[in-house]
Amino acid sequence: MQGGIFRSRDTHFEQLSGSQQTHMQYWTIGMDYGIGIVINRMNINYTQKTRTAWISGTGKHSVGNITLLIPISRKTIIGD
């Protein structure tokens, strides 16, 4: 996670190869879950995505999403 393509040109990067304290996790666990409500033709959905830390010493990663779907046409679309 240190360095990158600008590392050789920027003096803010520090070489810390001997004091590396973290490492990438070989396995991570993730879970996606949510709930949805339908009122007439309008949909309201909430989803949450949670994953364990990818690097040791850091916290889990969690992202939530709220979706509101409002149809603008009264025509019913029938799937194939």
pLDDT at 24: 80
SS3 label, residue 55: strand
In 7-60, the DSSP E strands lie at: 30-39, 42-51
pTM over 0.85: no
Domain ranges of the chain: 24-69
Report the amino acid identity of residue 42. M
Query: What is the chain's pLDDT, residue by residue, as a tens digit (80 residues)?
Result: 455 565 555 555 555 555 556 678 788 899 999 999 999 889 999 999 999 988 877 888 899 999 999 988 877 666 65
